[in-house]
Copies of this chain bind each other. A is one copy, B any other.
Amino acid sequence: MSGPPTRTDTTVADAGEPALIDRVRARAGTPPDFVTLGIGDDAAVVEPARGELDVITTDVLVEGVHFRRDWTDARSIGAKAVAVNLSDLAAMGATPRLVLLSLVLPPALTLADFDALVDGVCVEAAGARAALVGGNIARSPGPLVVDVTAMGAVGRRRVLRRSGGRAGDELYMTGAIGAAAAGLAMLRAGVDRTALDPESADCLRRYEHPSARVRCGRVVAASRSASACIDLSDGLAEAARQLAAASGTGVVLDAESIPLAPGASRWLGTDPNGPGTDPGTVGTDPIQAALTGGEDYELLFAVPPHRRRAFLGAMRRCQPLPATRIGRLTADSGASLSVAGVLGPLGQGFRHFQA
């Protein structure tokens, strides 16, 4: 991550497992009061949030699949491993409380990169007021694997499910899509980071270091205005399909309404300002690429029309994060994209194993 190791670079294998655990403990800092027992015992012990439900999720970043160490620094990898989990908690309306970190480390990983990775984990968790309370360190025969478990709490009447949507509900999404796909395209193209325009640089930053919409999920859950919610980790198209499938409805997205991240169209699909562009595809190809690109850690909400005012009121409390109406749930099954008033099939998002 900072060039090939020099002779003075210590590796995790040099440091030894007990020293690595000590370094994690030092970085995790003093746990909050609800943590009865943190790092250093067989398991962590925590006081549940009074009167609330536990929400628990796990998600992993794997070298060569989710990241490349020659593209992305260790601190960002650690931060992103936490953020993708916080995004799952956000999609349930939960308040994050703690994370566990399971590291599978190549022995040649430098101690500097180990420290940076753990710093990224701790800072990202602390930003959401979650404590790193435990985990595991093992040796890898190959890739670096960063597996995080995150736990939060939510009031029992505030749980946001995927399955609560009904035909006629409006679909709203936070933020914009396409930034992550554009950032990945930049890395694949081997761009010079120092020469990027500000909008492209912002896309790259959002690919490498996404922010989970934790506050938004919590505020909307508290307003009880959304009937269903899912995050966009596998792309908007896949999220819309899954929310509709879980809710037993169909879905139509309006291509013209979907907000594309500024700068993303320069890196996705056909550049409308580029040479040889077919006017019939202007504005649709970047959206198609963004729809199926994945890793936009935004939230998709289903909102019954009679709760629209309450939902928009909740979203005003989340400013400057915008919410945009982009489609609706339908009585007939199926997933469609409306482009200039013509319905076509909605593409498929990211899947680890394409059947």
Question: Which of B15, B42, B104, B159 is A60 in contact with, Cβ under 8 Å?
Answer: B104
The contact string, 1 if C-beta is below 8 Å from chain B, for chain A 137-175, is: 111111101010111101010010111000000000000
- Which chain B residues border A142 with CB–CB below 8 Å? 64, 141-143
Q: How many of chain A's residues have a CB under 8 angstroms from any CB in B? A: 77
Do residues B16 and A353 form an inter-chain contact, with CB atoms below 8 A?
A: yes
Per the 8 Å Cβ criterion, residues 104-152 of A in contact with B are 104-105, 107, 133-143, 145, 147, 149-152
CA distance A87 to B354 in the complex (A): 36
Question: Which of B18, B102, B159 is A36 in contact with, Cβ under 8 Å?
Answer: B159
A41 within 8 A of B: yes
Interface stretch (choices A43-51, A188-196, A252-260, A325-333):
A43-51
A344 within 8 A of B: no
A57 within 8 A of B: yes
CA distance A355 to B23 in the complex (A): 14
Min CB distance, A25 to chain B, in Å?
Answer: 12
A303 within 8 A of B: no
A285 within 8 A of B: no
- Which chain B residues border A149 with CB–CB below 8 Å? 56, 58, 100, 102, 149
Do residues A46 and B37 form an inter-chain contact, with CB atoms below 8 A?
A: no
In the complex formed, the residue of B with least CB distance to A150 is: B43
A208 within 8 A of B: no
- Which chain B residues border A312 with CB–CB below 8 Å? none
Min CB distance, A234 to chain B, in Å?
Answer: 9
In the complex formed, the residue of B with least CB distance to A163 is: B41
- Which chain B residues border A98 with CB–CB below 8 Å? 56
Do residues B355 and A58 form an inter-chain contact, with CB atoms below 8 A?
A: no
Min CB distance, A82 to chain B, in Å?
Answer: 14
Do residues A58 and B104 form an inter-chain contact, with CB atoms below 8 A?
A: no
Do residues B64 and A56 form an inter-chain contact, with CB atoms below 8 A?
A: no
Complex A-B, nearest 3 residue pairs according to Cβ-Cβ distance, in ascending order? A16-B355, A142-B142, A43-B57
Do residues A56 and B18 form an inter-chain contact, with CB atoms below 8 A?
A: no
A54 within 8 A of B: yes
**With contacts A13-B353, A353-B13 known, is A141 near B43, CB below 8 A?**
no
Interface centre among A40, A57, A133, A154, by most chain B C-beta atoms within 10 angstroms, is A57
A55 within 8 A of B: yes
In the complex formed, the residue of B with least CB distance to A41 is: B162
- Which chain B residues border A41 with CB–CB below 8 Å? 91-92, 161-163, 246
Do residues A352 and B138 form an inter-chain contact, with CB atoms below 8 A?
A: yes
Do residues A58 and B353 form an inter-chain contact, with CB atoms below 8 A?
A: no
Question: Which of B20, B53, B135, B140 is A48 in contact with, Cβ under 8 Å?
Answer: B53
Do residues A45 and B54 form an inter-chain contact, with CB atoms below 8 A?
A: yes
Do residues B65 and A141 form an inter-chain contact, with CB atoms below 8 A?
A: yes
Per the 8 Å Cβ criterion, residues 185-235 of A in contact with B are 229-231
A59 within 8 A of B: yes
A17 within 8 A of B: yes
Do residues A162 and B42 form an inter-chain contact, with CB atoms below 8 A?
A: yes
- Which chain B residues border A317 with CB–CB below 8 Å? none
Query: Can you name 7 A-B pairs with beta carbons within 8 Å?
Result: A12-B353, A15-B355, A42-B229, A43-B92, A58-B147, A137-B353, A141-B143
CA distance A44 to B195 in the complex (A): 43
The contact string, 1 if C-beta is below 8 Å from chain B, for chain A 49-76, is: 0000111111110111110000000000
